[in-house]
């Protein structure tokens, strides 16, 4: 419908402006039905250039608009908005479109099959995934689903930071517990990990257990004198545990990358040498510096410390260079807000390589912290993790569906309060319950009817004239726009917000109307409308990775 109206406007203004086809036609949906189905500010946009009064110009455009059966009426509002009222028969076509497309409704080919890599979660293998990782997992997975629905060829990647000081602390913590040193013992590492899971790893290592994680299988030697063996087993054990967390959260990855591999395969050293050759490095105070101020950073950054070893952003540059060399001209990193400080220096390092990487690559989506509440009080600790609430804690408390929805339902750049009591509630106050209940209600009506849903695609829709029916059809017509907008904005929460509105429209219709009425034409038209609504609810919930139950 937007394409139809935009084309009509272009035809109307062609005599007034050059290259009318190049105009940016903005169509918005008025909040009040009194102002029509779409509003356009084209008259105000052109008024200054054409030196005309906006309302007078709006009337001139209306007079020049070609007639179209889909447009019932056009009028002027305010300073010169042009309001378009869509004919009832045109609004009803959305039902047939949804029923015809089914699970594919809302999908498009804007991405044109181009490759995009999305990196998300990327947790250090030092403990179970926490709720922050969970938010990253929910947002990242929804982004992948949205990109796929918009025609992108998506690769999902998990980057394990399995090198550095935190892994050293993990190794020493497991070694201490295996030696019988308690966490409150002064001999326990000051920066060690104290959760119960450390004791589990220590016991498994002493028992010479075997663990499998993606591309590795490690059998413990039980030798406490072999620190490298402890390190390898502990990392593999926790990678396996994180794999189980992700499986419980319905998250799958196509590629797992290891920071340690960047060193063993020489990619870090090769990147450093390339940066030196580029002329953007210098030596000072026995350290190697990257002149990141050449690329917008507020100060230059140390690459290699005077005591040896690279700072943490250097392997990140090497990793992203590897992504570029793998052919990913678009990369999106979903990470916690604490990564904000690394964005400029990583991009600076990539620009300094001078290998054709564009400015602003890669893209970043940063999520803020999650506060978990129960009974009006903040929940801070997990018995197993020791110092934080784990993702598995939430899934076990409220289920996968509610956890995914709540973690994805707010803009990532907003802090999130996860209310366990609300997520468990089977009331209309719980948005995921409210949406799933709308779907279940439709399934119940269709089951009572017992007819062939396929026949509804061809029924006459003219009986759909009530305010609730019109509102529901208008909501259905917005879904495809939401899918595009959420993808372009990298904002899955827009889908969650839309589904709440659609569920509200369905519940209002359900409470106000009967579907299995005696009049056959009316019955079939209403069943077609709610079946289309069921399809869109299913499709939207799928984008969030949430199930659509038939009974509740």
Pairing state between β 115-120 and 153-160:
parallel
The runs of H, that is alpha helices, within 304-387 are: 313-325, 340-352
Task: Look at residue 235 in the predicted model and tell me its pLDDT.
Answer: 95
Task: Look at residue 215 in the predicted model and tell me its pLDDT.
Answer: 75
The runs of H, that is alpha helices, within 131-208 are: 131-149, 165-178, 196-206
What is 2-86's CATH number, 3.30.70.20, 3.30.1360.70, 3.50.30.40, 3.40.50.12780? 3.30.1360.70
Separation CA 107–CA 124 (nearest Å): 35
Contacts (Cβ under 8 Å, ≥6 apart) of 283: 289
Task: Look at residue 383 in the predicted model and tell me its pLDDT.
Answer: 66
As averages over each run of 10 residues, the pLDDT of the chain (552 residues) reads: 94 91 91 89 94 95 95 94 94 97 98 98 94 97 98 97 90 97 95 94 98 89 96 96 95 94 96 97 96 94 93 95 97 94 94 96 97 94 77 95 98 96 97 98 98 96 96 96 98 98 98 97 98 98 98 94
Give 294's DSSP letter. Answer: G
Task: Look at residue 526 in the predicted model and tell me its pLDDT.
Answer: 98
Angle (CA) 494-495-497 rounded to 5° is 65
Give 430's DSSP letter. Answer: S
91-110+428-544: CATH number: 1.10.730.10
Separation CA 410–CA 404 (nearest Å): 11
Domain boundaries, the chain: 2-86, 91-110+428-544
Contacts (Cβ under 8 Å, ≥6 apart) of 204: 211, 220, 233, 237
């Amino acid at each position: 419908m937007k394409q139809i109206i935009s084309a009509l406007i272009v035809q109307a203004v062609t005599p007034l402006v050059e290259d009318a086809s190049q105009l940016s036609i903005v169509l918005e949906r008025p909040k009040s039905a009194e102002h029509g189905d779409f509003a356009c500010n084209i008259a105000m946009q052109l008024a200054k250039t054409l030196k005309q009064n906006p309302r007078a110009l709006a009337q001139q455009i209306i007079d020049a608009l070609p007639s179209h059966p889909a447009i019932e009426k056009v009028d002027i509002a305010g300073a010169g908005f042009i309001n378009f009222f869509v004919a009832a028969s045109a609004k009803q076509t959305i039902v047939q479109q949804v029923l015809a497309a089914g699970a594919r409704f809302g999908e498009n080919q804007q991405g044109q099959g181009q490759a995009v890599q999305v990196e998300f979660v990327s947790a250090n293998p030092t403990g179970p995934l926490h709720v922050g990782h969970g938010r990253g997992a929910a947002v990242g997975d929804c982004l992948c689903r949205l990109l796929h629905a918009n025609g992108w060829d998506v690769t999902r990647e998990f980057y394990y930071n399995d090198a550095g000081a935190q892994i050293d602390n993990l190794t020493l913590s497991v070694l201490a517990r295996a030696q019988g040193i308690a966490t409150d013992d002064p001999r326990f590492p000051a920066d060690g990990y104290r959760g119960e899971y450390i004791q589990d790893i220590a016991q498994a290592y002493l028992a010479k257990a075997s663990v499998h994680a993606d591309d590795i299988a490690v059998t413990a030697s039980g030798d406490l004198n072999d620190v490298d063996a402890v390190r390898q087993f502990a990392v593999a054990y926790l990678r396996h545990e994180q794999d189980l967390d992700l499986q419980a959260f319905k998250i799958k990855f196509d590629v797992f990358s290891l920071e340690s591999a960047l060193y063993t395969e020489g990619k870090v050293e090769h990147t450093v040498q390339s940066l030196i050759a580029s002329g953007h490095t210098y030596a000072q105070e026995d350290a190697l510096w990257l002149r990141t101020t050449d690329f917008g950073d507020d100060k230059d950054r140390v690459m290699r410390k005077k005591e040896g070893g690279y700072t943490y952003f250097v392997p990140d540059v090497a990793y992203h260079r590897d992504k570029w060399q793998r052919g990913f001209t678009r990369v999106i990193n979903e990470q916690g807000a604490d990564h904000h400080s690394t964005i400029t220096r990583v991009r600076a390092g990539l620009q300094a390589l001078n290998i054709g990487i564009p400015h602003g690559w890669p893209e970043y989506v940063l999520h803020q912290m999650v506060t978990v509440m129960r009974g009006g009080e903040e929940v801070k600790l997990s018995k197993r993790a020791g110092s934080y609430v784990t993702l598995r804690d939430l899934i076990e408390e409220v289920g996968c569906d509610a956890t995914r929805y709540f973690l994805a339902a707010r803009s990532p750049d907003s802090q999130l309060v996860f209310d366990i009591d609300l997520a468990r509630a089977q009331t209309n106050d719980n948005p995921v319950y409210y949406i799933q209940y709308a779907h279940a209600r439709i399934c119940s009506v269709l089951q009572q009817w017992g007819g062939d849903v396929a026949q509804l695609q061809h029924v006459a829709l003219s009986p759909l004239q009530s305010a609730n029916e019109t509102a529901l059809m208008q909501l259905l017509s917005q879904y495809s726009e939401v899918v595009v907008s959420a993808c372009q904005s990298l904002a899955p929460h827009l889908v969650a917000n839309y589904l709440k509105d659609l569920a509200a429209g369905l519940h209002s219709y359900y409470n106000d109307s009967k579907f299995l009425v005696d009049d056959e034409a009316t019955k079939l038209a209403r069943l077609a409308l709610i079946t289309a609504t069921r399809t869109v609810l299913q499709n939207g919930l799928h984008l969030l990775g949430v199930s659509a139950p038939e009974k509740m």
